[in-house]
Amino acid sequence: MILDLLFPNRCIHCNRIIEGDLLICNLCFDQIHFTHFDYFEENPLKEKCKLLFPVQNTYALMHFEKENISRKIIHELKYRNREKVGKVIGEWVNERLDFRDNKPDILASVPLHPKKLKERNYNQLHLFTETLSQFHHIPFDHTLIKRNEYSKAQALQDKKNRLENQNLFSITKDTSGKHILLIDDVFTTGNTLTTIAWELLNQDNKISILVMAMDT
C-alpha cells in the first residue's frame, strides 16, 4: 500500500496514474492502432507470409508504426524488464481472436538463444503464449524450437548475412502432421519466422502465424 502511494502505477504513454494491474489508461488505449484482422481470411500479414512460405492462417494484433503506442508497449515488454506486459497483450488477443472449430494443435514461440535469455532473464513471448494457451485450451511447447546461434536482431542484418543464417534454428522433436501456431512479437522482414516455418514444414506440418504487431 505504501509503495503504491510512493510509486503509483502510471500509463506507459501519458504517465497518468492508473490501477496497479493496468498497462495503459483508457484514453491512450483508444489510440492503439489495432489491425482488426480476420484470422481465417486474407489480410496483409497473410499476403506477406504467402510470399515466403505456405501458411494456413495469420493474425496480428496491432500495427507497429514509428512512434506509436504499440511500439512503446512492446519495448516495455522486451527492454524494460516488464514480463507481465506479455499477459496483458495476450488478454487483448483473447478478446479478439476466435479459432472456432479450427484450433491449431500446438502453440510454439520463437526462442531466444540461452545467452540472450540469461541477459534478459525471460523470453518475452512465453507468458503471452501461456495466456493464449490457458484461454483457448491449446497446449504450448517452449522447447520445440531451438535457436542454435547467438546473433543480432534479424532486422539489423543485411541480406547477405540473413541468407547465411539458414541453420539458425532447429526442431527438437518429431511433430509430423501437426498444425502449429508459430508466435512472435513483431513481423518485420519475416526472415526469422520463415527460417523456423520451413524447418517445421520439412516435418510435414501445417503452419499458422500469430504476432503481437506487424510493421507497416
Every domain of the chain with CATH number 3.40.50 lies at 34-215
β-bridge pairing 179-187 and 169-171: unpaired
Give yes or no for a contact between 17 and 170, defined as CB atoms under 8 angstroms apart. no
What pLDDT is attached to residue 164? Answer: 53
pLDDT the model gives residue 3: 43
Checking DSSP bridges between strand 169-171 and strand 145-147, what pairing results, if any?
antiparallel
Q: What is the pLDDT of residues 80-134, one digit of tens each?
A: 999 999 999 999 999 999 999 999 999 999 999 999 999 899 999 999 999 999 9
Q: With H, G, I as helix, E, B as strand and everything else as coil, classify residue 208.
A: strand
What is the identity of the amino acid at 104? P
- What is the pLDDT, as a whole number, of residue 150? 77
| pLDDT, position 22 | 87
Contact in structure between 171 and 145 (CB atoms under 8 Å): yes
pTM, two decimals, is 0.90
State the Cα–Cα distance between residues 1 and 197, nearest whole angstrom.
47
Fold classified for 34-215: Rossmann fold (3.40.50)
pLDDT in tens, 48-74: 999 999 999 999 999 998 878 999 999
CA pair distance 206, 216, nearest whole angstrom: 26
Check pLDDT > 50 for residue 75: yes
Residues in the chain: 216
pLDDT 10s digits, 136-195: 999 999 999 999 987 655 444 555 554 555 679 999 999 999 999 999 999 999 999 999
- Measured in degrees and rounded to the nearest 5, phi and psi for residue 212 equal -65, -40
The confidence score (pLDDT) of residue 216 equals 77
CA 8 to centroid of chain Cα atoms: 28
Distance CA 207, CA 179 (A): 6
Dist CA 90 CA 142 (whole Å)? 16
